[in-house]
Amino acid sequence: MHQLRIIVILLQLLAVSFCAAASPPELSQAAQHIDSNPAYALELLLPLIEQAQENEDSKTEAIALRYAGMAYHRMGKPADAALFLQDGLSAARLNGHRAEEGDLLNTFGIYCFDIGMYEQSQRYFLQALEIRKQSDDTLGIARTTNNLGRIQDKIGNFDRAIEYYQESLALKNTTAEINGRILTLSNMGLAYKGKGDLEQAIRLYQEALLLSEQTTYPEGEGYAQQNLGEAYRLLGRLDLSLSHCTKALDAYRSVRYQPRLSQAAFETALTYQALKDYPNAEQLYNEALELATSQNQQELIRDIMKQLALLSEEEGDLSSALSYFKRFVALQDALSSVYNREKILILDAEHRSRYQQAEITLLRRDAELNQSKLQQQHFIVFALSALSLTALGSIYYFRRQVKLRRAKEAELLIVTQALQEANSRLNHLAATDSLTKLSNRRQFDQSYPEDCARAKENGLDIALILADIDFFKQYNDQLGHLAGDRCLRQVASLLRRCLKETPYWAARYGGEEFAIVLYNAGVAEAAKVAECFRRSLENLTLAHPLSPNGQITISLGIASALSCGSYQPDVLFKAADDALYLAKSGGRNQVQQ
């Protein structure tokens, strides 16, 4: 029995050593600076992303892209933030990294919330919550539940928001997540403020502020200070309001968190205006407006327009007041219709989510019963396996004596195999494109004519697909070569997936062009493969700001030896190239033959 226990412990330790995987130290270092110094975090992250792509370490790539998106978001660069978050989400989904996909969806939801895309934000949060529940990620569930509460608070569903916050706090109290508790307490205070209970709101804000003194978390401190400033302003205690607002500004400026800094500047300006300090109020309104405009915070811009109009009216500048009021009314009309539409969609999704959760609870109970039975069976199998291992130890001793006699012979064989493998690796490197890991132009020029000759000799058809990424030069010029290289890797990875279950092969012909050779296949099969590739890339929705479609697409031309009447490689290539020209001149994002 003692021997069996030792074997069990050894096997458990071995499993842990294989399963444990720590993030690279550079990632941890960058993560520490995202809140305090996002620009420095980016200096660490951008080379790390490139290195992960070169090493085909898709998990590290997805994490680093998420961190970079967070850093850009805090710096007030929403376009860059969206690009990196989308790339990270694509990398996680393409390679099956579910935990990282959940993290990216949650971060993307926060980004959408901060720029006023609430319905899209909720969709990301619900997807993240589903993934995190599947893996029993307590802290992740708590964070996403808190974020769903913010959505409900935004549409005025305060009681449901409080339910989410209470659920989130209960989960966070079981972990060491102090920062998350600070934010959730402040969020719950906002919901109570929405219900008209300012006293309860202030108690929650003060609890959050006290908690922030136990840790170094300027974002959480700033959030609590800002909310307290607003509450005291509503109560008419303006000196106390100004004190909390200026502390919120200092906290957000210390970490350069632009999305929250714009809100804090606006709240401080409101207090200055209530104090009749018009110069400071106007200065902070203009600062908030500049920040909100750079981050596309339309609701905040609307509120600033209204306050600038009132400020101008109080100062007797009726011309400016009229101009600001006109801009306020235009924004209010535009946002009202969007808000009503999004509120309906959010409430509908919330209803469906709660109904589905009830079904999931029933299924989980059934699964737990089955799991209990399986565990009993696993224990019996494990015990038998352990006894088998003991017997195998004795057999191993005798077999070792035989192996020692053959050691010299085996050593020579190993050296020979190592040389063969080294030669094979060198040949592979010489034939592989270093960026996309597809065959390179040199390999295509060598193998493509050989396949054509072999098809002719055996009386078989052969097809060729030429593909070209649409508007890729504009993508490179706008977003830079690092983004262009990342795009090429993603397209190549998708192409490999499309060909995974087929005997066909692909090469990077040059720049943004790819060639696919289909031995023993005709035009119909080539059209099927080409359309699969085109549709899969379209469904991936990689953002392209200068494309008419708003995303990365690809055009493809196909031809076969029988369709063009020749097995000559050059003739077949020209036929496919002509078809590609038709696809691009006909509007792109299509297949032609």
Catalytic residues, by residue number, are 512
In angstroms, the CA 205 to CA 286 distance is 27
> Where on the phi/psi map is residue 177: left (φ > 0), alpha (ψ -120 to 50), or beta?
beta
Q: Which helix (H) or strand (E) holds 255?
A: helix 238-255
* Half-sphere exposure for 461 (CA within 13 Å, toward CB): 15
- Residue 172 burial by Cβ neighbours in a 10 Å radius (0-12, 13-18, 19+): buried
> Where on the phi/psi map is residue 569: left (φ > 0), alpha (ψ -120 to 50), or beta?
alpha
Q: Are 193 and 156 in contact (CB under 8 A)?
A: no
Phi, psi of 89 (to 5 degrees): -65, -40
Cross-sheet strand order for the sheet of 513-519:
505-510, 513-519, 462-469, 554-560, 591-592
Q: Which three-class secondary structure string do you get for 34-55?
A: CCCCHHHHHHHHHHHHHHHHHC
* Half-sphere exposure for 194 (CA within 13 Å, toward CB): 19
Q: Are 100 and 92 in contact (CB under 8 A)?
A: yes
CA distances from 285 to 67, 250, 265, 331 (A): 30, 16, 7, 17
In angstroms, the CA 168 to CA 148 distance is 10
What lies within 8 Å, CB to CB, of 56 at 6+ separation is: 437
Q: Map tokens 């444990």 to a residue.
A: 20
Which tokens in the block code for residue 158? Answer: 């305060």
CA distances from 335 to 19, 112, 330, 425 (A): 49, 16, 9, 59
**263-291: b or e for each residue (b if 16 or more CB lie within 10 Å)?**
bbbbbbbbbbbeeebeeebbebbebbbeb
In angstroms, the CA 122 to CA 365 distance is 27
CA distances from 142 to 35, 192, 203, 447, 567 (A): 20, 20, 22, 55, 62
Which tokens in the block code for residue 353? Answer: 């989510």
